[in-house]
Structure 1
Amino acid sequence: MWKVVALLLSLCFIGCSDPYAQKLPASIDGLEKDEALKKAIQKLPEQEKALLGQFLLRRGLAQAFGGGGAEEVTVRQAIDRQRRWLEEQAKQEAEAKALADRVKAEREAKRKEFAETLTVAVTSLQFVKGSFASRRFDDRFQITLAFQNKTARAFAGVKGTLVFADMFGTAIKQISIAYDQGIEAGSTATWAGEVDFNQFIDDDKKLASTPLDKLKTSWLPEHYIFSDGTAMKMPD
């Protein structure tokens, strides 16, 4: 199909008093045989030839994928429709980018707000193998966190995701943490928990074999609730 469009736009013919008044056949099959249309196209400026070619290609693809028959339009109408279509596409892309930029800015501002209220640090990470003596036969990670409340209000609970990454910043494992024991204003609390180890997951094996001082850790806040009932939540 594109070869047909390219042929139309590359042949050099002379004729037709008004090239814009020439009608495009409804089907791509009739394009090659229309000598008057070929001559008309060669009179168009290069930019309009390109617009016409884009229109024909877009319409042909729509027909090929079940778009049905197309109405008969003039060269002028085809060029104008393609130009409007491109303008609409550019408008939609600009709106999408503006939305993405706004959401990104909102999340960044919210992240800074969260960082000013609570600091989370990993104080211990141990890989513990199961044993008969401990009556725990499954291998696991034991993790200890420290929460520092930097506000003048007490937390009722905090929720977020703990991320372990290698020294290059590549994420190894993410763990969802929900702490509901409260953190007094200006004080520090600790959380100790266990996470199952899966011997069939490469990232688990990598985390088990990497010492804490070779890891980068980060905290992704999700939802903080203060003891007075107010809350902070990251936007979706």
Structure 2
Amino acid sequence: MKRFSFLPALIMITLFITSCGSSPLNRKYSDDKFMMDVKAIKESKKLSDEDMRLLAGYIIRAKISGEKLETMTYAEMLKKAQDAVAGQKALADKTAKEEAEKRTRLGAAVNVALYNIGYVKGDFQDHIQYDLAFENKSGKDIKAVKGSLLITDLFDKKIKELDIVFDNGVKASETFKNSYSTDYNQFMDEDKELRAKSIKEVKFVFTPEKVLFNDGTSLE
């Protein structure tokens, strides 16, 4: 009788292996059976909506690029798609951290503030004007500053981003004010939004890229 005591366990193992092997995710891709496989994967409820979108996106991109999918299972394709997303997120997090560290490091030398936005009517071309203040906190005379100014609404939605080069110089412990302008385009939503907003209705972030000092040294 003892030899039959393993029978229930053997049955369970067999059922487990069979169920794993029969999962639609373990099927290899086939153009002819693709729609049927997708239906089976959805009905299995083993994937979240996000994973279904990742899998579909991977297949679409592979088809566009001419990649052969017939040797891969849906599970393998999903893993590649998830790895790609993880890699993109890691790169984005690394870049954001580096930018934040750079902003802090260079921000210790120069502080840049947007204190006014205005609409300027011109004879031939209207402009949006941006008034900036550059505060030198470095203890050395600054020759030039290069960076970017991101302007958002109060909910952090991007309105406009400007490349800023300030080469008027500012002495140590002093503040220098300077104005910049961009052509106003009545057909661009960002310009219409800026024209309608006051400085109290926007937020800004200045990201310095490089600071040049009069003594020939620099920060970047």
TM-score (normalised: structure 2): 0.63
Q: RMSD of aligned C-alpha atoms?
A: 3.7
Contact conserved, 2:29 with 2:69, CA < 8 A, in 1? no
Matched, 1:56 2:28: yes
Classify the secondary structure of the residue corresponding to 1:57.
coil
Structure 2 CA distance for partners of 1:108 and 1:42, relative to 1, 3 Å: same
Letter in 2 for 1:146: A
Deviations 1:108-165 (A, max 9, x none): 22222122222111233221212xxxxx332112332110011122222111222322
SS in 2 for 1:183: coil
Q: Determine the C-alpha separation between the residues in 2 that align with 1:69 and 1:141.
A: 52
**Residues 29, 74 of structure 2: 8 Å contact kept:** no
Matched, 1:109 2:101: yes
- Indicate the SS of the match to 1:195: strand
User: Is the alpha carbon distance of 1:50 and 1:228 closer, same or farther for their aligned partners in structure 2, counting shifts above 3 Å?
Assistant: farther
Match of 2:199 in 1: 212
1:118 aligns with 2:105: no
What percentage of aligned pairs have identical amino acids?
30
What is the aligned counterpart of 1:129 among 108, 121, 133? Answer: 121
Q: Residues 162-201 of structure 1 correspond to what in structure 2 (within 5 A)?
A: 162-201=149-188
Q: Any gaps of 5 or more consecutive residues in structure 2? A: 1-13, 35-58
Tell me how far 1:44 sits from its aligned partner: 3.6
The 5-angstrom pairing of residues 4-15 of structure 1 reads none
1:47 maps to a residue whose letter is C
Q: Distance in 2 between matches of 1:165 and 1:99?
A: 24
Match of 1:226 among 207, 213, 217: 213
Asked whether the 8 Å contact 2:147–2:206 carries over to 1, the reply is yes
Higher RCO, 1 vs 2 (CA within 8 Å, ≥6 residues apart): 2
Equivalent-residue separation in structure 2 for 1:178 and 1:120 (angstroms): 12
Aligned length: 178
Separation (CA, whole Å) in 2 of partners of 1:153 and 1:42: 76
Q: Shift of residue 85 of structure 1? A: 8.2
**Cα separation, 2, equivalents of 1:69 and 1:210:** 52
Larger C-alpha radius of gyration, 1 or 2?
1
Code of the residue aligned with 2:184 in structure 1: it is: F
Query: Bigger CA drift: 179-188 or 95-104?
Result: 95-104
